[in-house]
Structure formats: structure tokens, C-alpha cells
Amino acid sequence: MSAALDTATATRSGKGHRDENFPVASHLIHPRNRPPILAFYYFVRAGDDVADHPDLSSEQKIALLDGLADALTGAGPSDPEAEPLKAELAARGLPPLHALELLDAFRMDARKNRYADWNELIHYCRYSAMPVGRYVLDVHGEDPARVYKASDAICAALQILNHLQDCGKDFAKMDRVYIPEETLRKHGATVAMLGEPTATPQLRAVISELAGRTLALLEEGRALPDLIDDTRLSMEIAAIHRLAVLLTRGLLTRDPLSEKVHHGKAAFALTALGAAAGALARRPFRGRLARAAA
């Protein structure tokens, strides 16, 4: 194994799909579709760990990310982090586009740690979040023209929600701030406030505004479960959407610097189960619901 691959392996955080804030290839997903989703997750996790590694320079990170991309496309040496996804893509006849776009987002993280405004943040989400939803939909054979737009809105919302929940940690550990500078200025807040033990009223106003915009994205994607042909995927996305709405509403009243935004596992499970059951109950009417959404 090359020195580059040794370095890539050493950057792994040890985080797995069960450690994420939202379900990843849960047992709601049909068993035949779980392997390609998990292969995608662990390839992306390897890239994310590189981008977040505190001891690597920007140049080292980009070199490792380029190596992952080349291994996936066959343009460079094989990499154990890329081989499972490469095999799944070949078996399904799927292109590597979505995984490569996520690597572009990690390159942004290696070079950039501030965002000027909401549009710049959404541009980041286009590469850091939207490809995830698109890949899962492609694995299930869904129609991009029907489902991508709603999926993009939900994925951007999930990404921004994570940014808001982790705003203090991101600033303290990596000097990375996803909160738009324009929004901070609007409410008289500063980046330095992210390093305080509790959020100031100005920063709370910033988080509240961004949470409201995130809820608008979730509303834009609300119809997605009823647009999807695969019943099990519809239930999974309905559960994720409901959990995201619950957490985002929590940010309207909770301080992510000093309070836990997440609820307990039991409450989350009940919320997800209720949303999945609701999606299942709507299946007989999904044609009418999809037309109404359109």
C-alpha cells in the first residue's frame, strides 16, 4: 500500500452509519438496495474524514481526495475505500457522478471556512448534500424529473440543520463557520460569539432566522414521499423529513451552544415510526397527492 493510502486510512474517524443524526439505509430500505447505499456512505465518510482531519494541510487533504476520486473512476491506483462503491456502481450501471460531487464539497471544506450569504451556502449544499439524495433515488430507479427537486430541498435542509446544531463545535475544532456572514451582520452577531458557552441574543436571532429558512426548505420537499414509487423508500424519507422538522423547530427555542437539540432515542423512534406509517397509509392516494404537489 502506498504512503498516500496509509495516510488516507489513518484519517478515518471510526464513525459509522449508525452514528449519524438521521437513518442511513435503515431496515425500511429493501435489502437489495442497502449494500450500494452503505458502500456510498463509507466512501463518502472516508472523504469527509479527510476534509475534517485537524493535522492535514489543505494541500494534503486535496491530494488524498483526488486519490479517492481517481480510484473510483479508475484513473489512478486502487483504494480500499473506493473499491466497494466502484463494484456496486458497476453492478448497477450507475455513474460515479454523485460521489465525485461530494468529493468536490470536501475540497471546498479544505480550502474554505466562511460563507458570505445564503446563496453561497446553498451552492455548498448542492455538492455536499443534494448528491446523497439523488444517489439513493437513482439506486431505487426513481424518475429524476419527478423527484430530484423535492429531494434537493430536503437534503439542503438536513445539511443546514447539521450546521446549525454543530455551529459551536465546527468553530472551536476547525475554525469552520457555515452560518452566512450576511446573516450574522444583519443581527449584529459576530463569528466570535460561536465560541461562547451560551448563545447571545444576537446569535439566537441568527439561528432562529436560519432555522426558519430551513423549515421553508423542508416544506418545499414535503411531498417527496408521495412522489416516490418505492414504498419502503417513501417510508424512510417520510421518517427523515419528520425528524428534521422536529429538530429544526427545536432550534427556534433551544441554544445549540449550551443545549442538546436532539431528543431521546425513544422519542425519535416514535416520531419516525409515525411518519413512516403515515406515508404507508397515503400510498393508495399517492397519484392524487403527487398531482396536487405538481
> Each residue of 244-260: pLDDT tens digit?
999 999 999 899 999 88
Q: Is residue 103 part of a domain?
A: no
Q: What is the mean pLDDT of residues 180-203?
A: 98
**C-alpha to C-alpha distance for 41 and 43, rounded to whole angstroms:** 6
**C-alpha to C-alpha distance for 84 and 90, rounded to whole angstroms:** 10
Do residues 62 and 148 share a domain? no
Where in the sequence is the domain holding 40, given as residue range(s)?
27-93
279 pLDDT band, cuts 50/70/90, is: confident
pLDDT at residue 18, rounded to an integer: 43
Split into its structural domains, the chain has a count of: 2
**C-alpha to C-alpha distance for 106 and 4, rounded to whole angstroms:** 17
Q: Is residue 20 part of a domain?
A: no
Q: What is the pLDDT of residues 162-179, one digit of tens each?
A: 999 999 999 999 999 999
Q: What is the pLDDT of residues 39-86, one digit of tens each?
A: 999 999 999 999 999 999 999 999 999 999 999 999 999 999 999 999
Do residues 80 and 210 share a domain? no
pLDDT at residue 283, rounded to an integer: 77
Q: At 115, which helix (H) or strand (E)?
A: none
CATH of the domain at 227: 1.10.600.10
Q: What is the mean pLDDT of residues 105-117?
A: 97
Q: At 46, which helix (H) or strand (E)?
A: helix 34-52
Sign of the C-alpha dihedral, residues 65, 154, 123, 162? negative
Domain stop point among 93, 121, 144? 93
Do residues 164 and 32 share a domain? no
- Amino acid identity for residue 3 in this structure: A
Q: Is residue 184 part of a domain?
A: yes
| pTM confidence score | 0.88
Q: Answer yes or no: is pLDDT of 229 > 80.
A: yes
Do residues 87 and 127 share a domain? no
Helices and strands (H, E) in the chain, number of each type: 15, 0
Q: Is residue 14 part of a domain?
A: no
Q: Which of 126, 161, 133, 154 is nearest to 223 (CA)?
A: 154
Do residues 63 and 125 share a domain? no
**C-alpha to C-alpha distance for 250 and 164, rounded to whole angstroms:** 11
Q: Is residue 190 part of a domain?
A: yes
